[in-house]
Amino acid sequence: MKKKFFLFVNVLFFGFSLLSAQNYSKLNDEEICNKILFELQKQSDKSTAKLVVETGKLLMNTPYVAHTLETEPEQLIVNLRELDCTTFAENCLALARTAKTRKPSYKHFKNELQLIRYRGGEINGYPSRLHYFSDWIIDNDKKQTVSSASKSISNIEFDKTINFMSLHPDSYKPLKNNAVYIGAINKQEHKLTNSELYYIPKEKLEALKHLLKDGDIFGITTNVDGLDITHVGIAVFKNDSLLFMHASSKAEKVILSKETLSEYLINRKSATGIMVARPL
């Protein structure tokens, strides 16, 4: 009996009850959004960061699918049925922020999602989307949807030339044979390279983890030439262990990590650390 009760509690904790991703598969995005907002409204007194975690739990087990945003012409894509690491974080933040408003709605959620995903919240072609996650943090800090927390945690500069997209346009369908878009992306990369960026090296994370908080959105920095960040997740503390929720390509779904974030980084040669954005 105790074993059954324990399993039941686990099921509820990770959002596999009435709001499970398996049930979501038969719903459209507006229905999923409204069901999540209904649950979040019961906890609207919590901080945005705490609601980001609650949203992540409700989206647990959602299938991992890459490139869901790649459409022409550029437009706001809402897809709560399939997520990659970045869209998982964006949707969690947008839903959490929507739940904090007086009258949460699907329309309000879409407005929040556009604000978060695009430079200045405005859609103006492919280059207007925030493709580099370090740029995403800078722009969302300006829009006051998050606060860039890396400097206050470690005060270690992230000094790197960012130019991967403009050097590999064939890897991005909208950039192929589009000199205008490539030029616009290149200008953004140059500005980003010369921006003041900070990160927490993976060797220092365990000692500094107490400065992170539940719901912090982080990007994993990389030693891959020209790239800033290769993966995105949401910090979740379990007792004294810093775990994280993320849309995992390996697991092919949204999961809570079994290993700590420090262990995850140390076990990956290309990972160098993290940049942190704190939901506001």
Separation of CA 270 from chain center: 19
The token duo for 82 is 């399939």
The one-letter amino acid code at 11 reads V
Where does the chain have alpha helices with state H? 2-13, 21-24, 29-41, 48-58, 85-99, 106-117, 133-142, 150-153, 164-167, 179-193, 202-208, 261-266
Domain-wise residue ranges, the chain: 2-279
Distance CA 89, CA 245 (A): 9
Q: Which residues contact 128 (CB under 8 A, 6 or more apart)?
A: 74, 118, 119, 122
- Write down the pTM of the prediction: 0.92
Measured at the alpha carbon of residue 219, what is the angle toward residues 215 and 222, in degrees to the nearest 5?
A: 155
In sequence order, which residues have a C-beta less than 8 Å from that of residue 262 and are 6 or more positions away?
202, 205, 206, 209, 242
pLDDT in the model for residue 21: 54
Segment 39-88, tens digit of pLDDT:
999 999 999 999 999 999 999 999 999 999 999 999 999 999 999 999 99
CATH number for the region 2-279 comes to: 1.10.3670.10
**Host H or E run for residue 245:** strand 241-248
- 174-179 long-range CB contacts below 8 Å, 24 or more apart? 174/70, 174/72, 174/74, 174/126, 175/126
108-146 pLDDT, tens digit each: 999 999 999 999 999 999 999 999 999 999 999 999 999
pLDDT at 24: 61
Confidence check: pLDDT of 2 > 70: no
